[in-house]
Structure 1
Amino acid sequence: MINIDDLDEEFGIEGELGFIEMEGELPFISISNKYAQADICLYGAHVMSFAPYNGMDLLWMSPGSFLEEGKAIRGGIPVCFPWFGPHKSNSEKPQHGFGRLMFWDVAETRSEPNGETYIRMQLESSEQTKNLWPHDFRAEMIFTVGAKLITTLKVSNTSTEAFVYGCALHTYYSISAIDHIAIEGLQGTTYYNQLNSEHATQEESSLKIQEPLTRHYLNTESPVVISDPAFRRRISVQKAGSKVTTVWNPGKETTKAIQDIPNDGYEAFVCVEATNAFDYCISLNPGETHETSAIIGQEE
């Protein structure tokens, strides 16, 4: 049982960081500093909001999202771990792993000297996780809330054998309209088109989305920019420790079959994800650690 008062007493920062539990919803951390406001749910270590000071939220949350234990949150930054997409051998195991379907423990919070806010949460292997994935591990989600939001998934192998895992920081960005934006920075990159199982190379200088899209850009660590003239902003998307950049929008027809997205919801978001999957999963020997980071903010 999560006790909000106990968390506030141990980890709260007066005037900067507090814990909230809305009636009938999940507990989350609310952060407000001189740079930005952010909300992070303890369920899934899930960022639900990041709004730079005097700016709009960079993240999209579905108004139809389930906010209850046992169901994934739709929008924000879901943490996919320890696999990406469906499980390779058992379709009954949860899509995108179990990391987004469990409560993470708050391990550390602090106010940095420059005014940024630091939060560290962790999830460790247990009988529950071993029923789904038979390895000992420690996963940490580390957040720095400043003019930019830095999110890092740090995975440590605490077992006596090597293991392989996949992951993604599955970020939903808020946009004016899907057919108004352009994504820059992927020209010349080979991608796997999940919708037709073909490989191709993007020739265009920028990606414009006019139809359903699921592309996994391979062997790339390049930063991208989401250009959104109608919102008069350019969202900078940088990453580290990730070799795959996934771009996803379900389009009109697919969205109708997704219970927790409104029928017109596809128009309001695009996912650009820091991913490790396919031939780019992470192998860790005992005692080894890997970090996957996404750094998002507005270009000045």
Structure 2
Amino acid sequence: MTIEQLNTQFGIAGQLEFIAGNGGLPMIQVKTAKAKALISIHAGQVLSYQPAGEAEDVMFLSAKAYYQDGKAIKGGAPICWPWFGADPEGKGRPGHGFVRNRAWNVIATEALANGDIKVTVGLDDTPETQAIWPHAFSLRQEIVIGDSLNLSLITRNTGKEKFTITQAFHTYFKVGDISRAKVSGLAGCDYLDKAGGGNTQKHQTGDVTIDAEVDRIYLNVGNTLTIDDAALNRCIQITSQNSKTAVVWNPWEKIAKDMADLEDHDYQRLLCVETTNAADDVREVAPGGECRLVASYRVVRG
């Protein structure tokens, strides 16, 4: 659909507009009394969320991000699906699945009675996806923009055989200074340490702080985590549903320099805290059944 057609069918006067974004990709721009946000239809990905009265975006978005078919956008809340991490079957398929680098469809938009805006985007299986992952599915993401940002990723099995998935909201949060940021809510959890290509199990004591490359899958986590961002004088509260694992990631200096879609010093300004079904947190979806992964982000002060 063209931008004009999208606005005619799905626009909400004064609150939700479709625009041509970077790379000419169609994007959804939301501006309300509660917040503003930017959503890329390519990848079905929230790129920006800024509550009213906040000086800074909640999300980090790379100035060097790719905006083209077949490429993932570095920043915001990419969707990893139907697997998290490397191809689980070792067939050479792309890491983190195949939905974060292709166009999605706009399913619905709605102005809710409480002043929030709800956007639903989705993907269904095609011959192309069947060649990559031979299952019939209907994937939807419900995005609710208000005082908090609420994301629900809903997997429906429309086929005749069960399948299993791992998945994630691979969310990039903006921090003022990574050396002064910490994550609370993971003390006492074991984690798989993936940094440097490893896979050793370790135990978290106290808050998570970052002073080197961090790539960890935390196991048996609770449903509330908090990023304490001292440099920006704010906390970002992350609440989840139907998730037993969480990932904390920061590339640090060398990997950031090696990534063409990151500025060399971006590692100092980003922190990924990801709501996941990863590692042994595998979800089975029966024919006609569904799986729902939910994450909510809110700025908390005082």
TM-score with structure 2 setting the length: 0.96
Kindly state the Cα deviation for residue 91 of structure 1 after the two structures are TM-superposed: 5.3
Q: 1:68-95, CA deviations, whole angstroms, 9 ceiling, x for partnerless residues? A: 1111100000001111111023353111
1:184-220: CA deviation from partner (whole Å, max 9, x where unpaired): 111111111112321111112x111111001111122
What residue identity is the alignment partner of 1:179? S
Matches within 5 A, 1:79-118: 79-90=79-90, 92-118=92-118
Task: Give the direction of change, closer, same or farther, for the CA distance of 1:176–1:90 in structure 2 (3 Å limit).
Answer: same
Question: 1:66 maps to what in 2?
Answer: 66
> Which residue identity lines up with residue 168 of structure 2 in the other structure?
A
Asked if 1:272 is matched to 2:264, the reply is no
Report if the CA contact (8 A) 2:217-2:278 is conserved: no
Maintained 8 Å contact 2:223/2:241: no
Residues 183 and 225 of structure 1 are in contact (CA less than 8 Å); yes or no, is this contact kept in structure 2?
yes
Aligned-partner Cα distance in 1 for 2:21–2:147: 27
Match of 1:203 in 2: 205
Deviation sequence 1:208-257 (CA, Å, 0-9, x none): 11110011111223311111122010111111111110000011111121
Relative distance call for 1:291 and 1:87 in structure 2 (3 A) is same
- Alpha carbons 1:186, 1:222 under 8 Å: kept: no
Matches within 5 A, 1:1-300: 2-22=1-21, 24-55=23-54, 56-90=56-90, 92-195=92-195, 196-204=198-206, 206-300=207-301
Shift in Å, 1:129: 0.5
Q: Equivalent residue of 1:255, what SS?
A: helix
Q: Which amino acid aligns with 1:21?
A: A
Distance 1:298 1:136 in 2: 38
Q: Is the 8 A contact 2:35 2:146 kept in 1?
A: yes
Would the aligned equivalents of 2:124 and 2:138 in 1 still touch at CA under 8 Å? yes
Instruction: Name which of structure 1's ranges 86-95 and 236-245 shifts more when overlaid on structure 2.
Output: 86-95
The separation in 2 between residues aligned to 1:43 and 1:203, in whole angstroms, is 39
Post-superposition offset of 1:23? 6.5
1:11-62 CA-to-partner distances (Å, cap 9, x unmatched) read: 1000000100136331110001111000000001100000000211000001
The answer to whether the Cα contact below 8 Å between 1:191 and 1:217 also exists between their aligned partners in 2 is yes
Query: C-alpha displacement at 1:101, in angstroms?
Result: 1.4
Contact in 1 for aligned 2:163/2:286 (Cα 8 Å):
yes
Shift of 1:178: 0.9
Q: Determine the C-alpha separation between the residues in 2 that align with 1:259 and 1:241.
A: 34
Tell me, yes or no, if the aligned pair for 1:221 and 1:240 is still in contact at 8 Å.
Answer: no
Task: Please identify, of 16-25 and 92-101, the stretch whose mean Cα deviation from structure 2 is larger.
Answer: 16-25
Distance 1:93 1:114, change over 3 A: same
Q: Residue 280 of structure 1 aligns to a residue in which SS?
A: coil
Count how many residue pairs are aligned between Structure 1 and Structure 2.
Answer: 298
Q: Distance in 2 between matches of 1:218 and 1:293?
A: 17
Pairwise CA distance, 1:281: 1.3
SS of equivalent residue, structure 1 residue 99: coil
Alpha-carbon distance in 2 for matches of 1:266, 1:23: 22
Identity %: 32
Does the residue aligned with 1:279 lie in a helix, a strand or coil? Answer: coil
Name the aligned partner's letter for residue 127 of structure 1.
Answer: P
Gaps spanning 5+ residues in structure 1: where?
none
**SS of equivalent to 2:276:** strand
Q: What is the SS of the residue equivalent to 1:100? A: coil
Aligned residue for 1:120, secondary structure, equals strand
| Alpha-carbon distance between aligned partners in 2 of 1:23 and 1:116, rounded to the nearest angstrom | 26
Given that residues 221 and 246 in structure 2 are in contact (C-alpha distance below 8 angstroms), is that contact kept between their aligned partners in structure 1?
A: yes
Structure 1 Cα separation of the partners of residues 273 and 26 of structure 2: 26
CA-atom RMSD, angstroms? 1.1
- Greater than 3 Å deviation, 4+ residue runs: none
SS of the equivalent of 1:34 reads coil
